[in-house]
Amino acid sequence: MGAALAIAKREWKAYFASPLGFVLLILFSLLLGLFVYLWSPFGVPTLFARQSADLSGVFAARHLPLLFVLFGAAISMRLWSEERRLGTEELLLTLPVRPIDAVLGKFLGAMGMLVLCLATTLPTVYVVWSLCDDPRGLEWGPIFGGYAGSLVLGATCIALGQLASAFTRDQLVAFLVAFTLLALWFFLGDLATNLAPHLPERFAGAANEVQQYGLTALFDSVDRGVILMKNLVFLVSACALLLGLNAAVLTWRKAG
Amino acid sequence: MIRVQDLCKSFGSHRAVDHVSFEIETGEIVGFIGPNGAGKSTTMRMLTGYLASDRGRAEVLGFRCLAPSARGAAPHRLPAGVEPALRRHARAPFLRFVAEVRGIPRRERAAAVERAIELCALQEVARKRIRECSKGYKQRVGLAQAVIHSPKVLILDEPTEGLDPNQRVVMRDLIQGFAKQGATVILSTHILPEVELTCPRALMISRGRIVADGAPKKISGPLGTLEQAFRQITQTKE
C-alpha cells in the first residue's frame, strides 16, 4: 500500500509539472460556472433565477455527468500512455510494485485531480450559503450527498479512461477512445429509449433495464441529494472491475 | 546468485531468447555481449521481471523472476524523459520517489538518497530536472535509482551507451566500486575493450543463444582480440 501511495503522490504532482493540471482546473470551473450561473445546456434554471438556496445547479442530473465525459477522459488519458511513450513504464513495473498497486496509485493520483476540480465549486457553496435566508440555514445533507455521488461517478469515469490509456502510447488516442465510450454511456438512456420501440418485445424490457444504468440516470437521484444503494453498488463494482482489468492488462503485457 | 535455466522468449514468430542457461556467482562482474537483436535486453528484462518468459526459469537471489523483491534485482536503463524529475527546489524528488516505492523507511530515506547522489557524483545536478541533464548525468541518475537500496544484484543494460570516454571511465569505476562492495553485476555493452577491462567473465549471445562463456582472454584465445572473436563467432552463426 505504501508503494501505491508513493505512486499516487507522484501522479498527482505530475499534473502540475505541466500546464495540464491548471488547464483542467480552469476549464472545469469555467464550464461548470457557465452552467450554474449563466446558461444551462439542459434548460436548468440558473442559480439566481431559481430563487432557492440550493446547489441543484451544480448537481443537476446532466451537468456533472457531461463534464465527466470530457474531464474523465482528459484527466486519465496520460496515466499509462505517457509512461509508455517515455519508456518509464519499464522503470515503474520493475520496482517492487504489484500491478494492482501501480494501478491503484495512478487511479488515486487522478482522483486527487478530480477532487481539486470538484473543489472549484466550493465558492458556489459559499454563494448559496450567503444567499440563504432560511433561519434553519442550508440543508447540508444534499450537498454532502451531491459531492459523494459526484466522486463515485467521476471515479468510474476515470477508471474507464485509465483502462483505455493502458492500450496505447498516444495520449490523444486514449482520450478519444475514453471520450467516445463515456459519451455513449452518457447517451445510453436516450439511446435505449429511442431503440426500445424498434426492438422485438423481449428486448424492449432489456432496453428499459439498461436505461437505468446510463451516466445521467445514475446521477438522477444525486440531484435530489439521494444516493441509491443500487446505483452505488453498480458504480463501485464497475470501478473495481475496470481497475482489476487494468491490472490484468499489465500482467498480460509482460507475457507478450 | 543469478540462475537462468533453459530460458525462452518469443515475440510472434521471432524467437528472441532460445534456451539460454547460465549461472552467475556472488561478486562476479559479467559482461553480456552480442550483436543488436541477439537477445541481450530481452534476457535482462526477464531477469528484472519486466517480461515474463515463455518457458524456463530465471532466479535472482533465489527469487523467481516476475516476482522481483525489494532486495532483488534492480534494472538500470533510464529512459529519456523520466518525469517528474530532479526538480529545482527540492533535492532529487525522483530518487526520493524510488526510495519510497522501494520501501525504504521514512527515517532512512533522506540518507539513502544522499548516499546515492554521492556515490554517483550527482551533487551538481541534484536540483535539476532530468531532461535538462546531459547524457552522462542521465545515465548516472539511472544508476543512482538502481543502487538506492544497496542491492546485491545490479542488472545494467548498456550503462555506458552514449557516454564520452571520460564519462565512460567514471561509470566503469562506479560499477567496479559496487562490485568491490560485494554486489553481483551483469552489464551489457557493445564496447568490447570495456569488457576486457571491467569484466573477468563474458557471456556472448547470438540469435538468442549463448555462444561463448568465459574469461574474455579465453574467448578471444587464438583469435587475437575479443573483437575478432566476436566477429568470427557471431557472423558465422548468421
Bond prior to B84 in cis (omega within 30° of 0): yes
Domain boundaries, chain B: 1-72+152-238, 78-150
> Which residues in chain B have their CB less than 8 angstroms from residue A91's CB?
75, 77-79, 82, 145
- Confidence class for position A117, pLDDT limits 50, 70, 90: very high
**Per-residue pLDDT, A109:** 97
**Residue B113 near residue B122 (C-beta atoms within 8 A):** no
**What is the structure's pLDDT at A233?**
95
**In the block, which residue shows the cell 567514471?**
B170
Confidence of residue B205 (pLDDT cuts 50, 70, 90): very high
Percent of chain B with pLDDT over 90: 23
Q: With an 8 Å Cβ cutoff, are B97 and A255 in contact?
A: no
Q: Which residues of A touch B66 (CB under 8 A)?
A: 254
Say yes or no to pLDDT of B88 above 80: no
Out of A7, A95, A256, closest to residue B102 by CB: A95
The per-residue b/e assignment along A134-143, b for 16 or more CB within 10 angstroms, e otherwise, is eeeebeeebb
Residue of A nearest to B142 (CA): A91
Of all residues in chain A, the percent with pLDDT exceeding 70 is 100
The pLDDT, as a whole number, for residue A181 is: 97
Q: Considering only the beta carbons, identify the residue of A2, A86, A256 that sits closest to B81.
A: A86
Q: Report the candidate in B55, B139, B68, B100 with the shortest Cα–Cα distance to residue A93.
A: B68
pLDDT at B76: 43
| Cβ contact, residue pair B101, A90, below 8 Å | no
- For A206-219, the pLDDT digits (tens) are 888 888 899 999 99
Residue A193, pLDDT score: 86
CA distance to partner chain B, nearest, from residue A251 (Å): 9
- DSSP code string of A159-205: HHHHHHHTT-S-HHHHHHHHHHHHHHHHTHHHHHHHHGGGS-HHHHH
- A254 and B52 in contact (C-beta within 8 Å)? yes
Over residues A221-238, mean pLDDT: 88
Q: What is the pLDDT of residue B91?
A: 63
Say what the pLDDT of residue B89 is: 41
pLDDT 10s digits, B126-152 = 888 888 888 888 888 888 888 888 888
Q: Which of these, A138, A136, A117, lies nearest to A128 by C-alpha position? A: A138
CA A121 centroid distance within chain? 15
The reported pLDDT for the residue numbered A65 is 95
Mean pLDDT of A95-102: 88
A10: chain B residues, CB-CB within 8 Å: 84, 97
Mean pLDDT of B10-33: 92
Residue recorded with cell 442559480: A47
Specify the residue for cell string 553485476.
B185
Half-sphere exposure of B224 (CA within 13 A, CB side): 5
Cβ <8 Å between A91 and B75: yes
C-alpha cell at B185: 553485476
Q: Which residue has the cell 524456463?
A: B56
| Whether residue A136 has pLDDT greater than 60 | yes
- pLDDT exceeding 90 applies to what percent of chain A? 58
More confident residue, A77 or A190: A77
pLDDT digits (tens, 9 = 90+) for B219-232: 887 767 888 888 88
Strand stretches in chain B, DSSP E: 2-11, 14-24, 29-33, 55-60, 63-64, 73-75, 153-157, 184-188, 201-206, 209-214
Cβ <8 Å between B84 and A90: no
Q: What is the DSSP letter of B50?
A: S
* Average pLDDT score over residue span B159-174: 86
Do B103 and A91 count as a contact with CB atoms less than 8 A apart?
no
User: Who contacts B101 (Cβ-Cβ below 8 Å, separation ≥6)?
Assistant: A2, A3, A6, A7, A95, A96, A97
Q: Which of A28-37, A57-66, B185-194 has the highest mean pLDDT?
A: A28-37
Give the Å distances, CA to CA, from B126 to A107, B33, B105, B106, B237.
29, 33, 21, 20, 46
Burial of B205 (0-12, 13-18, 19+ CB in 10 A): buried
Q: Distance (Å) from the C-alpha of residue B68 to the closest C-alpha of chain A?
A: 6
Q: What is the pLDDT of residue B71?
A: 37
Is A160 within 8 Å of A72 (Cβ atoms)?
A: yes
Strands B14-24 and B153-157: unpaired
Q: Which residue has the higher pLDDT, B75 or A224?
A: A224
From the list A178, A183, A181, the residue with the least C-alpha distance to A77 is: A178
Looking at the complex, report in whole angstroms how far the Cα of residue A88 sits from the nearest Cα belonging to chain B: 6
Which chain B residues touch A95 with a CB distance below 8 Å?
Answer: 98, 101-102
Nearest to B95 by CA among A79, A89, A91, A103: A91
Taking the CA of residue B61 and the nearest CA in chain A, the distance in Å comes to 15
Alpha-carbon distance B211 to B221, whole Å?
15
> A137 falls in which pLDDT band (50, 70, 90)?
confident
CATH architecture for residues B1-72+152-238: 3-Layer(aba) Sandwich (3.40)
CB atoms within 10 A of CB A53: 17
pLDDT at A17 over 90: no
Cell of residue A186, nine digits: 452518457
Write out the three cell numbers for A235: 458504480
Interface test with A, best of B76, B101, B157 (most A CBs within 10 A): B101
Compare all CA atoms of chain A with the CA of B8 and give the residue at the minimum distance. Answer: A255
Contact A88 B72 (CB under 8 A): no
Q: Give A164→chain B minimum CA distance, Å.
A: 21
**Percent helix, percent strand, percent coil in chain A, to nearest 5:** 75, 0, 25
Q: Do A86 and B100 touch (CB under 8 A)?
A: no
Our CA dihedral for B212, B216, B221, B225, rounded to 10 degrees, sits at 110
Q: Is the CB of A93 inside 8 Å of chain B's CB atoms?
A: yes
pLDDT value at residue B223: 67
In this prediction, residue B78 carries a pLDDT of 41
CA A73 to centroid of chain Cα atoms: 8
- pLDDT at res. A103: 97
Sheet strands side by side (includes B153-157):
B73-75, B153-157, B184-188, B29-33, B201-206, B209-214
Distance from CA of B48 to the nearest CA of A (A): 6
Would the CB atoms of A17 and B84 count as touching at under 8 Å? yes
Residue B170, burial from CB neighbour count under 10 angstroms (0-12, 13-18, 19+): middle
For the record, the C-alpha cell of A246 comes out as 487494468
Using the Cβ of A104 and the Cβ atoms of chain B, whether some distance falls under 8 Å is answered with: no
Q: Which of residues 2-31 of A touch B (CB under 8 A)?
A: 2-3, 6-7, 9-10, 13-14, 17
Chain B residues whose beta carbon lies within 8 Å of the beta carbon of residue A14: 83-84
Nearest chain A alpha carbon to B106: A2
Size of interface A-B (CB pairs under 8 A): 71
Which chain B residues have a beta carbon less than 8 Å from that of A93? 49-50
User: What pLDDT shows up at residue B236?
Assistant: 63
For A249, the enclosing helix (H) or strand (E) is: helix A229-255
pLDDT of A35-65, one tens digit each?
Answer: 999 998 888 888 888 777 788 888 888 999 9
